[in-house]
Amino acid sequence: MTSVALLRQITDYANRPDPYPLYAELRKTPVVRDEDGPYLVSTYWEIKSLLHDPRVSSDARNLTPEAARGTDLEQDPNLPPAFIRLDPPEHDRLRRLAMRPFGPPHTPRRVFDMHGELTEIVSGLIDALRDRDAIDLVDDFSYPFPVTVICRLLGVPREDEKHFHEWADTIAASLDPPGTDEERQAQQESLRQARGDLAAYLAGLVEERRRAPRDDMLSAMATDHGPDGQMSPVEIITTAALLLVAGHETTVNLITNGMLTLLRNPDVLQRLRSDPGLAVPLVEELLRFEPPVQMLPQRTTLADIDIAGTIIPKGAPLYLMVASGSRDPQRFTDPDRFIPDRTDNQHLGFGHGLHNCFGAPLARLEAQLALTELVRRLDAPRLVEDPPPYRRNAVLRGPRHLPLTVSGIRD
Amino acid sequence: MSVDGYLEAFRRSGSIVIVGASLAGLRAAEALRDEGFTGTLTMVGDEPHEPYDRPPLSKQVLLGKVPADHTALPRRRAVDAQWRLGTAATGLDLAGKRVSLADGDAVEYDRLLIATGVRARPWPHELEADLDGVFVLRTRDDAAQLHHRLKAGPHRVLVIGAGFTGSEIASACRERELPVTVAERGAAPLVGALGGVVGEVAAELQRAHGVDLRCGVQVTGLEGDSAGRVRRAHFSDGTAVEVEVVVVALGATRNTEWLADSGLGAGPRGIACDAGCRAFDVRGIVTDDVFVAGDVARSPHPLFGYQFLSLEHWGNAVAQAEIAAHNMVSASTDRLPHLWMPSFWSAQFGVNIKSVGVPPMADQILVTQGSLAEHRFTAAYGYQGRVIAAVTFDQAKWLDFYERQIEQAAPFPPEFPTVDRRPEGMRPVAAGFPDPSLPSHGPTVTLSGHSPTDRRVSFSPHRA
Amino acid sequence: MRLVVDLNRCQGYAQCAFLAPEVFTMHGDEALMYDPQADDRQRENVRRAADACPVKAITVEPEDAAAAGGKAGASRVG
Ligand SMILES: Cc1cc2nc3c(=O)[nH]c(=O)nc-3n(C[C@H](O)[C@H](O)[C@H](O)COP(=O)(O)OP(=O)(O)OC[C@H]3O[C@@H](n4cnc5c(N)ncnc54)[C@H](O)[C@@H]3O)c2cc1C
Ligand code: HEM
Ligand code: SF4
């Protein structure tokens, strides 16, 4: 098999349930140029070194013009890029500003103190499954959970949460481009609509919170004055939208992949049931073994970079295949085994370096709580089909549905 | 007995003595047990405390966040040792393989590890040093006493010497809202460790936090009141300040006096050892059974021209202890060189300062990312056209990259653009280290001499 | 419980300060300060923090190694 065809195969929907053998193939050449242009990096140490390399940019404006064409699907053309798509110093300034109301050093307890609220949301979602013997874990649980959490975090009033669920749906669907041109066009149209509505809604809410602040992130972003000054209204909107997009689909997939992996490993499921503390390393292992973000396709180079015997030319698109890196046998022993209490586990599931996941502590708590509660309360859960139907998206990879049967819901 | 047989018997039931029961000593003990050494292990330490961690002493402890006696080091594993704490080693008989102790006892060893570290250099005038209110900071007890005094709210603290420890003490004082004067003989704080360009940033940080920073001056005398309490300090520029607390932070002296007549090559600059941690004797011949690790050691580093580096760094103590332990119980062909990349950190005035490599070797510096004025930057140091070190202020995530650059002897100045290269990052400037022929206290790395022998290490970067 | 952070490894990702805020605090944007002898009730939080640290910089004393020696004089302990 030529490595040139590998990216096509990885993105080929038929391989969605199990891309890992393709990654193994890819790792035979740590850095390879795909026929469509991007350079694919698939081995752990090379990926890690590029994530810490100051010659690597996340800003699409640094791509060569040919390479830039058609990359910016997720980016709203009417808004400036959010910090995930910016380089320092802008990235650092905006990330610090966004961190102020979210975490240390300024607000060290916000996420920690959400423990109770997260537990309540999880319990509520599971309670609603009583009297059911068939559930779809995605639609019934994994999907609504993170959107609710982000709404609470930002301070979206409960009665408006339903709009967020709709916008999140539409945006998530656009990450899964359908086959025909007409469908694609229709989807682009609804995406534009959803983005516009989301931005308009946020603008209104920010204004409201500026006038009457509460204890939530939007209020803090709207009123806070720190060493970096204040976020502009547009910056608040792009940042809030980023939190919604970056924190949604990813968390859905982590929880769903988690349940799927547990059902495939009943002994581990049993262990988690009797020892909830296992959730902590288990979630780390999931982030290594079935990571929600399979690759980082948004990087480019500011200079020619000589790595693993290949020169990646300046301005070339760079795909960092993090899911492959996290299964690199040069780094992890038994990489293809799911070992829930693995100790040497510096996976790449949340990225690394300056763009490392902003919401990681929250995502960890969400997944730890969700999986512990699901295994505790679902009585005799069984997979209805294996593999389940996957989303089309090869970057944010995860099941579209996870149909389960259960004998009941425990208290 | 064959060599292999000897090693096996030694590993099973030999005896190892470690002198110096602190960071390096403890980590070596753990590593010995991890390596499968099951013989007798004796830990000799002159402090009465079990091994504790020093870096928090000038940070969390002085801030009152952590009591001084809450700094004991976690054990990575049980070490099953004979502990002789509160007992100093007073002599070494190399031929008899015996360490004599202050209590009159002696312990015999098959192999010995010396990890006696350094102690704070006291104020040179003894009478002034004895004044009530004059402190140094090296031990847990020093920190407890100093913290106790700071808590009482002295009207002014004087810190003599603006190296890392002195700067951290000044930072803690300011955070406690105590008025503080810092006297530094050099042109700026941290100048010995990081050079004048970065030293200027450190000076700005101090002044921005309200430190009365006086550079280019020396303290000429400390004056006490009738009760023997320090009350005034005099400077070489003719000025004086009223002070209630003085902290002398003039660097360290190596704890090697107990080895004076032993025949080991031990002196004021430490104990020289090869890259495998074996000590040299006075003739310059490497010993077989005596190993060294931590602050007291000087060892050659292939990456830095085989210069003998003494690194008073936490990470060096840990890494060298592990290598020494491994080599103590391994056959010569299985021994490993200590090739640790020098690294340290310091937290002061809310800024995380980190460095890799050996900045004082550099002749030039270039700010490759960020900006000095914002106090957030990454700077690379160059020596004869290659990258030799790097420092970050609140940009630690980039340091790995520069560590690779040093390992690969990458060209300096770096030609490539970076994500945050500013106009000031376009041209290298002189790094601004004080002329080494002038006396200077406590540079973190001292450079001296070349290794005559050990050229067997294969790790030698070359450049076209 | 005793712990130590290898601050050479630490890159200021602050995961620990999120997950065990009583034990780990950020001092400024990047400098970490922590309680080397945290209350035993923090064990669960500290474990979360140690497992989450992206560079595995946090060493927590295992419960069975805790029987450590500390008295002056000769003794045979941990
Ligand atoms: C206040 C302070 C802050 C620091 N901050 C940092 C920092 O931020 N970053 C960093 O990288 N490093 C820092 N360091 C340095 C770091 O603590 C040292 O590098 C480390 O302690 C070295 O360990 P060691 O075991 O080699 O020596 P030491 O810790 O000095 O231990 C040597 C031990 O041997 C004992 N001893 C000496 N002579 C004898 C004898 N004859 N018989 C028996 N015992 C003897 C000593 O009393 C001592 O207990 C700091 C040090 C201090 C004091
Ligand atoms: C399991 C869940 C999650 C996974 C696997 C995940 C993964 C990632 C990854 C791999 C990156 C790096 C992107 C890059 O390097 O380009 C990232 C960045 C980011 N994530 Fe997450 N994420 C998750 C949950 C969340 C949550 C819940 C939030 C918000 C609350 C969030 C907010 C962000 C943001 C804002 C960034 C950009 C950071 C930056 O550019 O500095 N993520 N995430
Ligand atoms: S999580 Fe790890 S890297 Fe981050 S601040 Fe804590 S110790 Fe440092």
C-alpha dist (Å) from residue B11 to B76, B230, C78: 20, 54, 19
Q: Is A23:A327 a contact under the CB 8 Å cutoff? A: yes
Residue A346 pLDDT exceeds 60: yes
Q: For B46, which residue in chain C has the nearest alpha carbon?
A: C72
A362 pocket-lining for ligand 2 (C-beta < 6 Å): yes
Question: Closest by alpha carbon to A114, among A214, A213, A215?
Answer: A215
The average pLDDT across B228-237 equals 97
pLDDT of residue B339: 86
The average pLDDT across C42-46 equals 95
Number of domains in chain B: 3
A251 pocket-lining for ligand 2 (C-beta < 6 Å): yes
Verify that B262 and B242 share a domain, yes or no.
no
For the domain made up of C2-76, the CATH class stated in words is alpha beta
pLDDT tens column, B307-329: 899 999 999 999 999 999 999 99
pLDDT tens column, B431-448: 999 865 444 443 333 333
pLDDT of residue C66: 56
Does A284 contact C25 at a Cβ distance shorter than 8 Å?
Answer: no
Q: Is B387:B405 a contact under the CB 8 Å cutoff? A: yes
How far is the C-alpha of A203 from the C-alpha of A239, rounded, in Å? 12
Verify that B284 and B403 share a domain, yes or no.
no
pLDDT of residue A183: 82
pLDDT of residue A78: 73
How far is the C-alpha of B375 from the C-alpha of B377, rounded, in Å? 6
pLDDT band at A1 (very low <50, low <70, confident <90, very high): very low
Verify that B137 and B238 share a domain, yes or no.
yes
pLDDT of residue A65: 78
For A74, other C-beta atoms within 10 Å of its C-beta total 16
C11 pocket-lining for ligand 3 (C-beta < 6 Å): yes
Distance A44 CA to ligand 3 centre (A): 21
State the DSSP code for C40. Answer: G
B142 pocket-lining for ligand 1 (C-beta < 6 Å): no
Residue whose Cα lies nearest atom 21 of ligand 2: it is A357
Verify that B11 and B108 share a domain, yes or no.
yes
pLDDT of residue A4: 54
Interface test with C, best of A51, A322, A364, A372 (most C CBs within 10 A): A364
In terms of CATH architecture, what is A3-409?
Orthogonal Bundle (1.10)
- The reply to whether C33 touches chain B by the CB within 8 Å rule is yes
The average pLDDT across A374-389 equals 97
Residue B136 pLDDT exceeds 50: yes
pLDDT of residue B458: 33
Atom of ligand 3 nearest to the CA of C26: 5
Q: Is A326:A315 a contact under the CB 8 Å cutoff? A: no
C3 pocket-lining for ligand 3 (C-beta < 6 Å): no
Residue A397 pLDDT exceeds 70: yes
pLDDT tens column, B12-42: 999 999 999 999 999 999 999 999 999 999 9
Residue C76 pLDDT exceeds 80: no
pLDDT of residue A48: 96
Return the SS3 of C51: helix
User: Which of B223, B250, B277 represents a domain boundary (last residue)?
Assistant: B250
When mean pLDDT is compared across A54-63, A267-276, A347-356, C65-74, the lowest value belongs to: C65-74
pLDDT of residue A302: 96
pLDDT of residue B436: 56
Task: Report residue A47 as tokens.
Answer: 């990926």
How far is the C-alpha of A8 from the C-alpha of B197, rounded, in Å? 51
pLDDT band at A218 (very low <50, low <70, confident <90, very high): very high
C-alpha dist (Å) from residue B187 to A284, B68, B136, B218, B352: 49, 33, 22, 11, 22
Verify that B80 and B194 share a domain, yes or no.
no
The domain ranges of chain A are: 3-409
SS3 track for chain A: CCHHHHHHHHHCHHHCCCCHHHHHHHCCCCEEECCCCCEEECCHHHHHHHHCCCCEECCHHHCCHHHHCCCCCCCCCCCCCCHHHCCCCHHHHHHHHHHCCCCCCCCCCCCHHHHHHHHHHHHHHHHCCCCCCEEEHHHHHHCHHHHHHHHHHHCCCHHHHHHHHHHHHHHHHHCCCCCCHHHHHHHHHHHHHHHHHHHHHHHHHHHHHHHCCCCCHHHHHHHCCECCECCCHHHHHHHHHHHHHHHHHHHHHHHHHHHHHHHHCHHHHHHHHHCHHHHHHHHHHHHHHCCCECCEEEEEECCCEEECCEEECCCCEEEECHHHHCCCCCCCCCCCCCCCCCCCCCCCCCCCHHHCCCCHHHHHHHHHHHHHHHHHHEECCEECCCCCCECCCCCECCECCCEEECCEECC
Verify that B135 and B279 share a domain, yes or no.
no
pLDDT of residue A158: 87
Return the SS3 of C16: helix
pLDDT of residue B408: 83
- The reply to whether C44 touches chain A by the CB within 8 Å rule is yes
User: Which of B186, B215, B250 represents a domain boundary (last residue)?
Assistant: B250
Instruction: Give residues with Cβ within 8 angstroms of B413, minimum separation 6.
Output: B364, B366, B380, B382, B427, B428
C-alpha dist (Å) from residue B366 to A87, A410, B214: 20, 63, 27
Domain that holds residue B398: 343-436
pLDDT of residue B401: 95
How far is the C-alpha of B397 from the C-alpha of B140, rounded, in Å? 31
Query: What's the CATH number where B40 sits?
Result: 3.50.50.60
pLDDT of residue B83: 97
Q: Is B60:C35 a contact under the CB 8 Å cutoff? A: yes
Neighbours of chain C (3+ CB pairs under 8 A): A, B
Pairing of strands B134-135, B157-160: unpaired
In a domain, B226, yes or no: yes
pLDDT of residue B450: 32
The average pLDDT across A269-295 equals 97
Stretch (H or E) spanning C31 = strand C31-34
How far is the C-alpha of A315 from the C-alpha of A37, rounded, in Å? 11
Residue B239 pLDDT exceeds 70: yes
Residue B334 pLDDT exceeds 50: yes
pLDDT band at A207 (very low <50, low <70, confident <90, very high): very high
Query: What's the CATH number where B406 sits?
Result: 3.30.390.30
How far is the C-alpha of B443 from the C-alpha of A153, rounded, in Å? 48
**Nearest CB to A108: which of C13, C17, C29?**
C17
More confident site: B69 or B461: B69
User: Which of B226, B250, B274 represents a domain boundary (last residue)?
Assistant: B250
Residue B241 pLDDT exceeds 50: yes
pLDDT tens column, B118-132: 999 999 999 999 999
**Nearest CB to C65: which of B78, B84, B315?**
B78
CB-CB neighbors (< 8 A) of A284 in chain C: 51-52
- Percent pLDDT > 70 in chain B is 93
Verify that B262 and B364 share a domain, yes or no.
no
In a domain, B268, yes or no: yes
